[in-house]
Each structure stands twice: as C-alpha cells, then as structure tokens.
Amino acid sequence: MPSCPEPRRVSILGATGSIGTSTLDLIIDGGDRYRVEAVTARTKVRELAAIARATGAAYAAIADESLLGVLRHELADTATRVGAGPGAVEEAARMDADWVMAAIVGAAGLAPTLAAIRQGSVVALANKEALVCAGELMIEEARQSGCVLLPADSEHNAIFQVFDAGRIDAIEKIWLTASGGPFRTATRDRMATATPEEAVRHPNWSMGRKISVDSATMMNKALEIIEASHLFPVGEERVGVIVHPESIVHGLVTYHDGSVLAGLAAPDMRTPIAHTLAWPDRIEAPSRRLDLATTGQLTFEMPDEERFPALGLARIAIRSGGSAPVVLNAANEVAVAAFLDRQIGFLDIVSVVEDTLTCVETVATDDIETVIMADGEARRRAEEVILKRSERTS
Ligand code: NAD
Ligand code: MG
C-alpha cells in the first residue's frame, strides 16, 4: 500500500481516555504531519474542548447531550464545529479521515466503530468490545468498504506484526500474553475482599477503570481471546494464553517448523498505536524503549483457570456462537460498573457473567441492530441477576 499523503487526516473516538491521550501524544509529537478532523468524548467536556483547541480539530462531539451548551461556549472563539449526543459521535466517526482511532470503551463503541469502518480508510481498533460483540460483521464491513482494520491492543498488535497472513496453514498457534493483573498470586479468599481501588491498581499499565478491572479478573484476556479469533482466523483452539508478569513480550506466533516469532516492547501503548498510525511505514515514537539487560528476566507461567474462570467462559461463548459473546461482554460491563459502585464484590463480577450466560438464550446476530438488541437484553438480565443476589444477601 502506498504511503498516505501528508498531512494525514486523523480522528480520535474516545479522545479523553487513556488510549485517546496516548494517541494525542503521538499526533501532537508529529506536528504538521497530521490534521485532526474529529475528536469525541462522553462527559469530560472541558477536556474535550481543550483537545479540540490544542489540535485545531474540525469537529468535536460529546456523547452526553446535556453538555452541548458547555462545549459550544468553550469553543465559541474557534473554528471547531460542535455536536452532542450519540448521533454526533457517529457523525464524527463518519467524517472523511485517513486514520481513525476507535478508542471508546465498551459496547457504546459499537455503532461509532462500525461507522468508522464503513467510512473506509484505516481504523486502529482499541475498542475490543466492538470486535467481541460483532467481529464477523466488522470484518465483513471492512472488506466491503476497503477499510484496513489494524489492532491497537498490544497483544494483537504484536501478533499482527509477526503473523504471516499469507501462510496461515503454517501457523500452529498464536499466544496472547497476560500480566496476571494485581491479583496474579492472590487466593480466591483474598480476591473476595478486593476493593475497587485495589482492582484498578495495575502493576504495569495505566489504563481506564473498566479495562483495569477486566485485567484483574482476567476478563480482559477472555475478551482478547474472542478478539484474536476474529482478527486471526486460526480457530479459537489455537489461541493460547500465557501469563507473563513483566508485560514485555506481548504476543507470539508458533509455526509448524517450531519457529516462534514474538513481538516485544516496553509496556507503553504509544508503541502499538504508533505502529497502526504509520502502517505500513514506521514513525519515530516518543514511547519508552525496551532495555532487556535492565529487565534481566522474563518469566512465564500457565494461567490458573480455577482462580480466573473468565478465560473458560470466553471459550464457551465462542463455541456457543451467535449472541453469546455479546451476552458475556454486556454482563461483564454491567457487573464491573456494579463492582466499581460497590454493589457487588470482586468475585461476583465473573460469577454474574456466568449466571447471565446461563439464563439468556443465544440468538443469531446477523446485523448491528440484532447485536444492539442482544446487548440491551443481556444488560437487563445481568441487572436482574445482581438484584436477586443482593436480595438474597440482605
Ligand atoms: P477510558 O475509560 O480511559 O476512555 C474511554 C473513552 O471512551 C473516553 O474518551 C470516554 O469519554 C469515551 N466513552 C465512554 N463511554 C462513551 C459513550 N457512551 N459514548 C461515547 N464515548 C464514550 O478507556 P481506555 O482505557 O482508553 O480504553 C478504551 C478502549 O481501548 C477499551 O475498549 C479498552 O479495552 C481498549 N484498550 C485499552 C488499553 C489501555 O491501555 N488503556 C489497552 C488495550 C485496549
Ligand atoms: Mg491487551
């Protein structure tokens, strides 16, 4: 693919988040090489306005409609056009751009991510939940629009860089590494009393609250197994997980001849994002460099699926097919929010997901409407599961 003419037109969906901020670092570092088309956020209206002002973005959209007046006021003296509500976020995603970062957290990113893919350029995908819920649909839409979907998630990005897509039959297995999160060595009894503050304190990465809790339950790796099975068509049984507490090796591909190619980097999301931003070229990124001599040791162990049952649930959801991954994801989002709100305990998160998967019937999800309906239904059922538990314990 020829290099894109400069300045490259870029949009950032979820600009105020952890991935959004790392992306902005690269864009600002690149100066005149980029022109920012659209930036979006949910509620952090002043931060969004500051980002729009700093980048000279053509359009700023805030998902929370009640904040339109504030956004308009904050950007009154600029040329940035403003919008509010989910429709405005989708409009931002549809704007002509050469590269879009899809970094909204959760299933809320489904419609905007799909809109970006339909717009047809390069979409860097951080919003793994969109792929978990509607992977086949996203990939088919990308094929139709000619959009190049590049994984920004560090493990998938590493695998992408060493995955020989022309010789899939020579691939024995792909491996996602997992840090193991803050409770890697904790007993279930210890986890039972874990607080939100403890759960979001990740040993290696600084991330949004939802993905930090997902890392602690290992639901993040569960979602990533599903994500990988869409991005790399080798079959779920060939997607392995290995715990690697140092988070230096991010992904590996084992070939039939015994060769193993691995992607390594310091744990800094600006590296995989820079890879997607420059692809198929490379840019100099201000991210942390890997110094193996200082690191000294890299360690690996198999995940303990009894202490971390989320991994097994992901495989059940993939094998069940249809809406099962949508249900897994929706129930997890509801349960994580309830945990952060101190309504349920840490171990309840995955157990609510399991109960919801058991009680919701799997349906076919052929289009975005049926995915969104299945997501809504699963959320209602997960809330019922949580309510029943609290009635039982009160
Ligand atoms: P975050 O919570 O820091 O940021 C989320 C962004 O999404 C914010 O800009 C927020 O305003 C926006 N948003 C939230 N709800 C929205 C809604 N309803 N409508 C519109 N916008 C909404 O999250 P994050 O850690 O940056 O993660 C973003 C995505 O990237 C997630 O899917 C996560 O799994 C994935 N990811 C993150 C990391 C990381 O290091 N943070 C690594 C790999 C993948
Ligand atoms: Mg990851």
* Ligand with smallest separation from the Cα of 263: 2
The answer to whether the CB of 17 is under 6 A from ligand 1 is yes
What does the pLDDT read at residue 120? 85
On the 0-12 / 13-18 / 19+ scale of CB atoms within 10 A, 265 is buried
Could you tell me where in the chain the CATH 1.10.1740.10 domains are found?
Answer: 321-394
Residue nearest to atom 35 of ligand 1 (CA): 126
What does the pLDDT read at residue 390? 85
The answer to whether the CB of 20 is under 6 A from ligand 1 is yes
* Ligand with smallest separation from the Cα of 181: 2
Identity at 68, one-letter amino acid code: L
The answer to whether the CB of 103 is under 6 A from ligand 1 is yes
Q: What global pTM score does this model have?
A: 0.98
User: What is the spatial distance between Cα 141 and Cα 131, in angstroms, rounded to a whole number?
Assistant: 12
User: What is the spatial distance between Cα 379 and Cα 360, in angstroms, rounded to a whole number?
Assistant: 10
pLDDT tens-digit readout, 337-357: 999 999 999 999 999 999 999
Q: What is the full per-residue pLDDT of the chain (394 aa) written as tens digits?
A: 556 778 999 999 999 999 999 999 999 999 999 999 999 999 999 999 999 999 999 999 999 999 999 999 999 999 999 999 999 999 999 999 999 999 999 999 999 999 999 998 999 999 999 999 999 999 999 999 999 999 999 999 999 999 999 999 999 999 999 999 999 999 999 999 999 999 999 888 889 999 999 999 999 999 999 999 999 999 999 999 999 999 999 999 999 999 999 999 999 999 999 999 999 999 999 999 999 999 999 999 999 999 999 999 999 999 999 999 999 999 999 999 999 999 999 999 999 999 999 999 999 999 999 999 999 999 999 999 999 988 887 7
The answer to whether the CB of 107 is under 6 A from ligand 1 is no
Could you tell me where in the chain the CATH 3.40.50.720 domains are found?
Answer: 8-151
- Distance (angstroms) between ligand 2 centre and the Cα of 164 equals 20
What CATH number does the domain located at 321-394 have?
1.10.1740.10
Contact of 127 with 113, CB cutoff 8 Å = yes
- Distance (angstroms) between ligand 1 centre and the Cα of 152 equals 12
The answer to whether the CB of 272 is under 6 A from ligand 1 is no
Classify 83 as helix, strand or coil.
strand
Sign of dihedral through CA atoms 39, 45, 46, 47?
Answer: negative
- Residue 365: phi and psi, rounded to 5, are -125, 90
Atom of ligand 1 nearest to the CA of 269: 40
What does the pLDDT read at residue 2? 52
What does the pLDDT read at residue 1? 52
The greatest distance separating any two alpha carbons of the chain, rounded to the nearest whole angstrom, comes to: 63
- Distance (angstroms) between ligand 2 centre and the Cα of 271 equals 13
Closest CA to 349 of 325, 363, 329, 375: 329
Architecture per CATH, domain 8-151, reads as 3-Layer(aba) Sandwich (3.40)
Region of residue 180 (left: phi > 0; alpha: psi -120 to 50; beta: else): left
- Distance (angstroms) between ligand 1 centre and the Cα of 87 equals 18
Closest CA to 349 of 241, 235, 219, 178: 219
